[in-house]
Structures are given as structure tokens and as C-alpha cells.
Chain A
Amino acid sequence: MNLKHRERLVMALPFIGPVLLYLLWSLALSAKWVSPTLLPAPNATFEYMGHLFITGAIFKDLWATVLRTFYAFLIACVIGVPLGVILGSSVPAYRSVEFLIDFFRSTPSSALIPLFMLIFGITDLNKIAIAAFAAVLVILFNSAYGVMNAKKTRVMAAKTMGISNFHIFKDVLLMESLPQTFVGLRTGVSLALVIVIVAEMFIGSEAGLGHRIIDAQQVFNIKDMYSSILITGALGYALNLIFMAIESKLVHWSGKA
């Protein structure tokens, strides 16, 4: 095998999984493992999905979910990053709230939906609030650990240069915490999306992908349900890709130094 062939083969590798899934999906139907009333044909599903985009029928729901996730994430960032950095720069301060952070971080946020419904009612704000709550803890936790795990040598190096404490904090500690903070942001946005979808399903809403999925299921619009699920998946995947791209640009040294 020559080099060109091998290169092509390596480039084809990422497509093997999706193609296998497609074949399995087709096989499951043609072999009658699954009833077509529960699983539509893959081609028909993709055709339906294309139709959703061409007619624009999906945009209202897609946009609603994106917007809620974005707001939730924004709120979580504005609270989580500064608070995490402040707590992380004082180990005693972090230790005193560590239990709360770890406890609520371990609590599935969906368990708190009823509580949030009591507080916020069945509103859009509720969905954003619960998703922000889910994201803020993981963001805070990662920012705090980013600061706490800052390389002591770099701080000492700045100290020997006679740099003021404020500038050591700003120039060294904050920069040191960035790679870990980005791990928190990436996890946070995924968590926010999960909770927004769940909230859209169970807290009455007019629009949103979660709302669309459960509606389609209720009226047994199977093609619409599968399409919406795939679109939700694609949204989550896209968010992850966007964050990875920003990360490799902004914290280029992550994992290298």
C-alpha cells in the first residue's frame, strides 16, 4: 500500500462509525427486528429532516432552545467564573463551601425542577434558571481548581521579579486557571443544553426542541421525533466543536506546558 492510499484510508476512518450505524438502522428494519411504527426508515427520516430545514419549520424550536441554553450559560459564566476564581485564590474559603458545591454538583439538576417551578412558576425564566444552576456549579468548581492548581513555580517566579500581588493574580493566577476554566465552560454548556431540553419537556412551553420531541411522541409523529432528536444531538455536538475551537485558540498552551 502506498502512502497516498494510507492517507486516504486514515481520512475515511471517522466515517466508518456513522456508515455502520446507518447500515444497522436499515438492517434492523429490513430484517424486521424493529417495527416500522417505532423506527422510520433512515432515508425517510433524513428526507423529513431536510424538509424541516427547507420549510423553516424547525427554526422556531431550534432557536428557542439555542437562546435558552445561551442565556443559561451566560448567567452561569458571569457568576461561576469570578466566584470560582475568588474562592480558588483562598483555599480556606473554598474548603468552607466545598461540601455545598460537591453536593449540588452531584445532585441531578432535573431533580430540582419541581422546586424551581414553585419559585419561578411555569415560565421561560424557570427553564433558564434551572439550566444556569446546573452549569454554574461545574463552571465554578473548575475555575476554582484552575486557580488552586496554578503552578507554584510561576507564582514564585513572578514574586522574585518584584511583581505586586494584584498583578501576580491578574497576570499569572488568572492565566494559569484558563485551561481548567475552559474545561468547565465546555462541560457547563453541555449540561445547560441537557437541562434546557429536559425542562422544555416537562415544564410547559410553546417552543423548543425538547418540547418538539415530546409533542411528536404524544401524537406519534415518529419521523418528527427522530428528526428532532438528531437535530438536538447535532446541536450539542456543534456546541462542543465551537468550544474546542475557541479553546485551542485562546488557551493554546493547554496540555503543552
Chain B
Amino acid sequence: MSTNPPRTHVTIRNLSKEFGGVTLYKDFNFEIPYGKIVSIFGPNGCGKSTLINMIAGLIPYDSGQVLFDGKDLKDTKIGYVFQNYRDALFPWMSSRDNIAYPLRRTGMSEEKVSTRVEELVKLFEIRFNLDLYPYELSGGQQQTISIMRALAPKPEILFLDEPFSALDFEMTLFIREKLQEANITTGTTMMIVSHDLEDAVFLADEILLLTRRPTSIASLLHFDMPKPRLPEAISHPEFIEIKSKALEIFQAEMRK
């Protein structure tokens, strides 16, 4: 572990966005360090998803700049995991082909594609049949496939928009563990939007707490509890302390 200050990966400068005359973001500035997991938490309608969608290029912003290690988005490989896995996977392809799709489109050879898919199968300990179509799988399995698909091209940064909200607790635990593992082994920077404080804190190196509209940063909490964190970590005093701190800031924001 190096003690140097972490290098900045994503730089967000003076980001502004209006929605139908309402200012959502005005001159928003934020920096995401390399290889870290940033959780975004804030009141309803403050634009958590809008923020990552703007960074990921899914929604245009009015002004400002987003740079990935100095590069534009178009020169950056990203991955994105949607809340609604059912609408994000391609039902006309088998689960395996879904994972392989972004690789095949880059012109990668079939041999390399299957090697990469096998790597992911190992990392995610997949025991179900990948030749099944997504609609033949359980919700948790489908979300696992969409995370594998997003990770397949080895993105620099992975965006996750409420990835757990449609999953049961068992699957949430599993996917949390796997995301943590992927982050540790590959060093992929991750940005997670969550409406569940526990999920937000569990994976986070940084917890970005947002205010109500017009949205600014209420607080940025560093959480350096060692990783990998086990499921039991949630009852550790350190975990509880940061969680209550985040809750306090959140509640103060709600009272404003």
C-alpha cells in the first residue's frame, strides 16, 4: 500500500445542468481518485443518477467539463450497470453472448473472447448455465450477468446506478462481495449510486453526500476500513460510526 496521495482519475469541473428551468447542478466540482469506490448518497430527486449519467455521457450537461485522467469520455473505456437489469440485457442473446458482446464488437478474436469470459466466470464463481437466455435466469443472476458484461472490456471506470435495489438480501451480499473483489483485483474505479445507506457505506472508500437541489456537496466522508470487508463488517464500530455520521449529515440536509 502506497502512502502517496491517490492520483485523480475523474475530474469534474464547473458542471452545470438545468432541467426545465430548474437548476440541478451549478458549477459542481468533484474529483474521483484512481481505483477507489465512491458511493453517492443524497435526498430523493437531488440528481444522484443524473450526476453519474452526465459523467458516463448518457445525459448531456449544459456546461463544464469531465475528464478521465485528462482524456475525454470518447477516449475512455467505461462500464455501466443499470438498476433495471431486465431492460439492460439483450434478451435475444444467451447470457454468455451478452457478456461477450462488447468484446466481439471491438473485433477481438473468438479465442480471446472466450478466455476473457472464462476469467469472469471464475471471478464471479458462476455455477449456472450461461447458455440460458437472460429471461430464464433469476433477478440476481441477471444482475450478475450485466455486471460481468460491464466489466468484460476491462473498463477504467465502472458506473453502477442502484445496482442492488431490485435484489433480495442474499444476492445483495453476493454482488457486494464480488464488486469488492473486482475492485481489489483489477483496480477499476467505481461510482455507485445507492438509496440504501448500508450498501453505500459497505463498498465505499469515499461517501459523497449530496444536498437538495440545486445540488452541491454536503460532505465527503473518507472511509478507510480495511478491505476486503466481510459481511460482518456492518456491525463493526468503525462501520457504525461512519454510517451514523452520514445519516446525521443526510438528516440535517433533509431539515433544510
List residues of A whose CB falls within 8 A of some B CB.
151, 153-154, 156-157, 159-163, 167, 171-172, 175, 178, 251-253, 256-257
Contact = CB atoms under 8 A, between A and B. Distances in A.
Given A252-B133, A253-B135, A257-B134, A159 B58 contact: yes
B216 interface: no
A164 to B, nearest CB: 8
Contacts of A159: 57-58
Nearest to B103: A161
Given A153-B82, A253-B91, A160 B153 contact: no
28 contacts: A153-B84, A153-B88, A154-B89, A154-B90, A156-B58, A156-B80, A156-B82, A157-B80, A157-B89, A159-B58, A160-B57, A160-B80, A161-B105, A162-B77, A163-B102, A171-B101, A175-B90, A175-B92, A251-B92, A252-B133, A253-B91, A253-B133, A253-B135, A256-B135, A257-B89, A257-B91, A257-B133, A257-B134
A257 B80 contact: no
B74 to A, nearest CB: 8
Contacts of B66: none
B78 interface: yes
B87 interface: yes
Contacts of A252: 92, 133
A160 B153 CA distance: 11
Interface string B203-218: 0000000000000000
Interface string B126-162: 0000000111000000000010001001000001000
A162 B74 CA distance: 8
Contact of A256 (B80, B88, B91): B91
Contacts of A163: 102, 105
A-side interface mostly: helix
Contacts of B42: none
Nearest to B74: A162
- Considering residues B90, B92, B150, B153, which has the most beta carbons from chain A within 10 angstroms of its beta carbon? B92
A159 B60 CA distance: 13
B234 to A, nearest CB: 30
B90 A161 contact: no
Contact of B78 (A153, A160, A253): A160
Contacts of A154: 87-90
B245 interface: no
Contacts of A251: 92
A156 B86 CA distance: 13
B56 A160 contact: yes
B149 to A, nearest CB: 8
Contacts of B80: 156-157, 160
A167 B133 contact: no
Interface string B187-214: 0000000000000000000000000000
Contacts of B33: none
Contacts of A157: 80, 82, 88-89, 146
Nearest to A157: B88
B163 interface: no
A175 B89 CA distance: 12
B79 interface: yes
- Considering residues A156, A160, A253, which has the most beta carbons from chain B within 10 angstroms of its beta carbon? A160
A151 B57 CA distance: 18
Interface in B73-129: 77-80, 82, 84, 86-92, 101-102, 105
B176 to A, nearest CB: 22
- Considering residues A157, A159, A252, A256, which has the most beta carbons from chain B within 10 angstroms of its beta carbon? A157
Contacts of B88: 153-154, 156-157
Given A154-B87, A161-B101, A252-B133, 19 more contacts: A153-B82, A153-B84, A156-B58, A156-B88, A157-B82, A159-B57, A160-B57, A160-B159, A161-B79, A161-B102, A161-B153, A163-B105, A167-B105, A171-B101, A171-B105, A178-B92, A253-B133, A253-B135, A257-B91
Nearest to A161: B102
A226 B86 CA distance: 50
A249 to B, nearest CB: 12
Contacts of B79: 160-161
